[in-house]
């Protein structure tokens, strides 16, 4: 996994380093957290400081100083992390695929009349639910679905409203006698595969959206599949002072062992376009997100599948269990990288707690989130730069975060910091539509 020391090499010595992905002094990638539990023997304070990102408010802390800050008594602010913001809620009934809406002032979920419906609205609703696009929609006769819906209906208003939230009104009946059924782009599911009990190595197909990004024939970063042609990764993986050669990038999917890459069964996917967020700040790691478009689409299977995006205004309370995965470096020299994909469970840490004076002291922006363990467990940040932080919600997995940065390796009170994907949904949709 990538080490934060790379960021120091690239930012402070842009002239001396020919390329962040090639320098022998770096770990092979510009930025972020590394595997924590396999860094035994790496005890020199001088070396450890290479892993730390300098803070404007405080000097880096070596391992010898962590005892002073090993206890951080800040309570989780769960109430501030309510994921049900807004006044309109959407769901698709698993029984009959009917779109159901709950207006904030009404206590029940109601079907939606077919009047004034169109596919553009369907796409907007799917995106509200964290799905990339609409795949199918139709009007269903009320007589075909039985007498279950007697509390009324939701109808699209006749006036053109500027926001989706204001388009709905309550009605006692539907003029056409039809309601909307729809299906969205399938994502966030995986085949029924056994888990390795007690292990940290991932079984093939357990994280089917995980990809390995190779630059010049070397594993450089992780990424996540969101469509058949698009991958999400971190901006610091692809951002450089010199324009990186697109032809040098290759994406490998459907693998858990890196040694299986470049084989006949796992030929890599060439990259057509790389777009990193224009607000990315390489000093603060703010807006650390990028997109890769492939020349040819993935062939989806049990081992290659897309991850769902989060819903709009998606926020998780502190303590929510999520997962990270990646092929991280097991030694800080950037040479000893595990062949097999690693995985680890990590709890979300509220921004309030993560921004406290004994953690990151205000450095966590609204576009970041924290996950890991206060006490610095060995598997706290077992991630790869650009790789996924995923959480299960409504029986699907969602890409909640992108591995971005952090201070040191599994140090107490310095959990992993991730790009908050929910803050970039509009940008992601815009880029995919325009390119």
Catalytic residues: 236, 288, 385
CA dihedral 308, 314, 316, 321 (to 10 degrees): 0
DSSP assignment, residue 323?
A: E
Closest CA to 193 of 185, 184, 204, 183: 204
Query: Could you write out the three-class secondary structure of 373-416?
Result: CCCCCCCCCCCCCCCEEEEEECCEEEEEEEEEECCCCCCCCCCE
Q: Which residues of 349-360 are buried (b: 16+ CB within 10 A; e: fewer)?
A: bbbbbbbbebbb
d(CA 123, CA 136): 10
Which tokens hold the place of 367? 């576009």
Q: List phi, psi (to 5°) of 110.
A: -125, 145
Strands (E), 174-259: 178-184, 210-215, 218-225, 230-233, 249-253
């Amino acid at each position: 996994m990538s080490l934060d020391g790379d960021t120091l090499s690239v930012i402070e010595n842009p002239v001396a380093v020919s390329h962040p992905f090639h320098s022998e002094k770096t770990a092979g990638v510009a930025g972020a957290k590394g595997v924590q539990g396999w860094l035994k023997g790496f005890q020199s304070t001088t070396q450890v400081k290479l892993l730390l990102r300098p803070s404007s408010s405080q000097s880096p802390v070596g391992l010898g100083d962590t005892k002073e800050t090993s206890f951080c008594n800040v309570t989780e602010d769960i109430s501030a992390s309510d994921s049900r913001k807004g006044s309109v809620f959407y769901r698709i009934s698993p029984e009959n695929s009917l779109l159901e809406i709950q207006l904030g002032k009404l206590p029940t979920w109601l079907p939606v009349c077919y009047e004034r419906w169109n596919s553009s609205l369907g796409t907007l609703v799917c995106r509200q639910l964290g799905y990339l696009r609409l795949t199918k929609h139709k009007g269903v006769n009320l007589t075909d679905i039985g007498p279950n819906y007697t509390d009324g209906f939701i109808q699209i208003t006749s006036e053109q409203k500027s926001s989706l939230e204001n388009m709905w009104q309550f009605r006692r009946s539907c003029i056409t006698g039809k309601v909307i059924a729809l299906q969205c782009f399938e994502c966030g599911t995986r085949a029924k595969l056994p888990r390795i009990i007690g292990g940290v190595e991932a079984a093939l197909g357990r994280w089917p959206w995980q990809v390995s990004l190779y630059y010049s024939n070397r594993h450089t970063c992780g990424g996540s599949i969101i469509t058949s042609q698009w991958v999400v990764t971190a901006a610091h993986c692809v951002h450089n002072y010199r324009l990186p050669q697109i032809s040098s990038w290759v994406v490998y999917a459907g693998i858990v062992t890196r040694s299986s890459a470049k084989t006949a069964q796992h030929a890599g996917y060439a990259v057509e376009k790389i777009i990193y967020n224009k607000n990315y700040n390489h000093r603060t790691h703010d807006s650390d997100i990028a997109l890769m478009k492939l020349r040819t689409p993935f062939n989806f299977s049990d081992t290659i599948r897309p991850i769902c995006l989060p819903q709009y205004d998606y926020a998780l309370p502190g303590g929510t269990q999520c997962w990270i995965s990646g092929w991280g470096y097991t030694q800080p020299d950037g040479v000893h990288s595990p062949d097999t994909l690693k995985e680890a469970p990590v709890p979300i840490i509220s921004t309030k707690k993560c921004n406290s004076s004994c953690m990151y002291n205000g450095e966590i922006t609204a576009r970041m989130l924290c996950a890991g363990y206060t006490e610095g467990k060995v598997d706290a940040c077992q991630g790869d730069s650009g790789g996924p932080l995923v959480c299960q919600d409504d029986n699907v997995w969602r890409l909640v975060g992108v591995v971005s940065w952090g201070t040191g390796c599994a140090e107490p009170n310095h959990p992993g910091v991730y790009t908050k994907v929910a803050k970039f949904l509009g940008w992601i949709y815009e880029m995919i539509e325009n390119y």
